[in-house]
Structure 1
Amino acid sequence: MKLTVVGGGSTYTPELVDGFARLRDTLPVAELVLVDPAADRLELIGGLSRRIFARQGHDCRVTTTTELEAGVDGADAVLLQLRVGGQAARNDDETWPLACGCVGQETTGAGGLAKALRTVPVVLDIAERVRKVSPGAWIVDFTNPVGIITRALLAHGHRAVGLCNVAIGFQRRFARLLGVPAEQITLDHAGLNHLTWVRGVRLGGRDVLPELLERHAEEFAADLRLPAGLLRDLGVVPSYYLRYYYAHDEMVRKQRTAPSRAAEVAALESELLALYADPALDEKPELLDRRGGAYYSEAAVALTASLLNDTGDVQVVNARNDGTLPFLADDAVIEVPARVSAAGAAPEPVEPLEPLFAGLVAHVSAYEDLALRAALHGGRRRVFDALLAHPLVGQSALAEDLTTRLLAHNRAYLDWA
Structure 2
Amino acid sequence: MKLAVVGGGSTYTPELIDGFARLRDTLPIEELVLVDPAADRLDLVGGLARRIFDRQGHPGRITTTSDVDAGVADADAVLLQLRVGGQAARQQDETWPLECGCVGQETTGAGGLAKALRTVPVVLDIAERVRRANPDAWIIDFTNPVGIVTRALLQAGHKAVGLCNVAIGFQRKFAKLLEVAPADVHLNHVGLNHLSWELGVRLGGPEGEDVLPKLLAEHGAAIADDLRLPRAVLDRLGVVPSYYLRYFYAHDEVVRELGTKPSRAAEVAKMEAELLAMYGDPSLDEKPALLAKRGGAFYSEAAVDLAASLLGDGGSPVQVVNTYNNGTLPFLADDAVIEVQARVDRTGATPLAVPELDPLYAGLVANVTAYEELALEAALRGGRDRVFKALLAHPLIGQFEYADGLTDRLIAHNREHLAWA
TM-score bracket, normalised by the shorter chain, equals: over 0.9
Per-residue Cα deviation, 1:220-239 (whole angstroms, up to 9, x for no partner): 11121111101010001100
Q: 1-side partners of 2:202 and 2:376: how far apart? A: 35
Residue in structure 2 matched with residue 99 of structure 1 by the alignment: 99
Amino acid at match of 1:10: S
Is the contact made by 2:305 and 2:316 (CA closer than 8 Å) also made in structure 1? no
Q: 1-side partners of 2:11 and 2:82: how far apart? A: 11
Is the contact made by 2:94 and 2:263 (CA closer than 8 Å) also made in structure 1? yes
Is the contact made by 2:397 and 2:403 (CA closer than 8 Å) also made in structure 1? yes
Residue in structure 2 matched with residue 57 of structure 1 by the alignment: 57
Q: 2:332 aligns with which of 318, 328, 333?
A: 328
Q: Where does 1:116-127 land on structure 2 (aligned, <5 Å)? A: 116-127=116-127
Per-residue Cα deviation, 1:262-297 (whole angstroms, up to 9, x for no partner): 000000000000110010100000000000000000
Residue in structure 1 matched with residue 248 of structure 2 by the alignment: 245
Q: 2-side partners of 1:91 and 1:349: how far apart? A: 39
The alignment partner of 1:317 has SS state of: strand
RMSD: 0.7
Q: Where does 1:352-367 land on structure 2 (aligned, <5 Å)? A: 352-367=356-371
1:306 has 2:309 as partner:
yes
Residue in structure 2 matched with residue 389 of structure 1 by the alignment: 393
Amino acid at match of 1:112: G
Is the contact made by 2:95 and 2:104 (CA closer than 8 Å) also made in structure 1? yes
Q: 2-side partners of 1:138 and 1:324: how far apart? A: 23
Q: 1:221 aligns with which of 224, 230, 233?
A: 224
Residue in structure 1 matched with residue 69 of structure 2 by the alignment: 69
Residue in structure 1 matched with residue 412 of structure 2 by the alignment: 408
Q: 1-side partners of 2:127 and 2:83: how far apart? A: 15
- What is the deviation of 1:217? 1.3
Residue in structure 2 matched with residue 234 of structure 1 by the alignment: 237
1:7 has 2:44 as partner:
no
Per-residue Cα deviation, 1:124-159 (whole angstroms, up to 9, x for no partner): 000001101111110000000000000000000000
The alignment partner of 1:393 has SS state of: coil
- Equivalent pairs counted in the alignment come to 417
Residue in structure 2 matched with residue 257 of structure 1 by the alignment: 260
Q: Where does 1:7-406 land on structure 2 (aligned, <5 Å)? A: 7-204=7-204, 205-310=208-313, 313-406=317-410
User: Percent of counterpart pairs with the same letter?
Assistant: 73
Q: 2-side partners of 1:219 and 1:97: how far apart? A: 31
Unaligned ranges ≥5, structure 1: none
Amino acid at match of 1:355: P
Q: 2-side partners of 1:48 and 1:125: how far apart? A: 29
Amino acid at match of 2:169: G
- The TM-score normalised by the length of structure 1 is 0.99
The alignment partner of 2:349 has SS state of: strand
Amino acid at match of 1:137: A
Q: 2-side partners of 1:376 and 1:396: how far apart? A: 23
Is the contact made by 2:37 and 2:66 (CA closer than 8 Å) also made in structure 1? yes
Q: 2-side partners of 1:331 and 1:133: how far apart? A: 26
- What is the deviation of 1:312? 7.4
- The TM-score normalised by the length of structure 2 is 0.98
Q: 2-side partners of 1:312 and 1:231: how far apart? A: 29
Is the contact made by 2:65 and 2:71 (CA closer than 8 Å) also made in structure 1? yes
Q: 2-side partners of 1:206 and 1:59: how far apart? A: 41
The alignment partner of 2:254 has SS state of: helix
Q: 2-side partners of 1:206 and 1:132: how far apart? A: 47
Q: 2-side partners of 1:336 and 1:378: how far apart? A: 30
Q: 2-side partners of 1:112 and 1:201: how far apart? A: 29
Per-residue Cα deviation, 1:320-355 (whole angstroms, up to 9, x for no partner): 000000000110000000000111101011111111
- What is the deviation of 1:56? 0.6
- What is the deviation of 1:32? 0.4
Is the contact made by 2:105 and 2:111 (CA closer than 8 Å) also made in structure 1? yes
Q: 1-side partners of 2:106 and 2:278: how far apart? A: 26
Q: 1-side partners of 2:298 and 2:362: how far apart? A: 28
Amino acid at match of 2:133: V
Amino acid at match of 1:298: E
Q: 2-side partners of 1:286 and 1:312: how far apart? A: 28
